[in-house]
Structure 1
Amino acid sequence: MELAQPNPELLQQLVTMRMPFGKYKDTILCDLPVSYLEWFQRKGFPPGKMGMLLETLLVIKMNGLMYLLDPLRKR
């Protein structure tokens, strides 16, 4: 059985891309609080790539996987 591997490009974007709108505008995505990501989960993630990134980040944070981003943040 083959395990799914995270997309390194997507993970890199989580540590470099900034939130383009809202209360946390200009905050690097991986620094967004879980409460804000949960709000999107309740109200609906934005369409397209941004929504996919925010949803992925929520899964990472909720499952204690932030360590996956640590090596990318140090670059």
Structure 2
Amino acid sequence: MDARDLERLVTLAMPFGKYKGRLIADLPGHYLNWFAREGFPPGEIGRLLALMQELDHNGLRVLLDPLRAR
């Protein structure tokens, strides 16, 4: 993981699907868990979704709060 990935979570919107347009950091846990079960898409978006799922699963969403304040 690169530190820039955390910033991308709070700035990049979901480009497709049910939650299209919502920030990756704001995606609900059940949606992230669905990707974990079914498979993350390839490329950057998949990598970021996997990172967000890991943060959510471990109760670490609060780590993104300081980045949102910027």
Q: Aligned AA for 1:22? A: G
Within 2, Cα distance between the matches of 1:73 and 1:11?
Answer: 10
Amino acid at match of 1:21: F
Amino acid at match of 1:69: L
Structure 1 residue runs of 5 or longer lacking an equivalent are 1-5
The aligned residue for residue 69 of structure 2 is 74
Query: Aligned residue for 1:41?
Result: 36
Map Cα deviations across residues 24-70 of structure 1 (whole Å, 9 max, x no partner).
00000000000001111111100011100000000001111112100
TM-score normalised by structure 2 residue count: 0.94
Gaps of 5+ in 2: none
Separation in 2, partners of 1:25, 1:74: 23
Q: TM-score, normalised by structure 1?
A: 0.88
Q: Between the two proteins, what is the percent identity of the paired residues?
A: 53
> Does residue 1:27 correspond to 2:22, yes or no?
yes
How many angstroms apart in 2 are the aligned matches of 1:64 and 1:58? 10
Aligned structure 1 segments of 4 or more residues deviating by more than 2 angstroms: none
The structure with more radius of gyration: 1
Count matched residues: 70
Q: Structure 2 CA distance, aligned partners of 1:63 and 1:43? A: 19
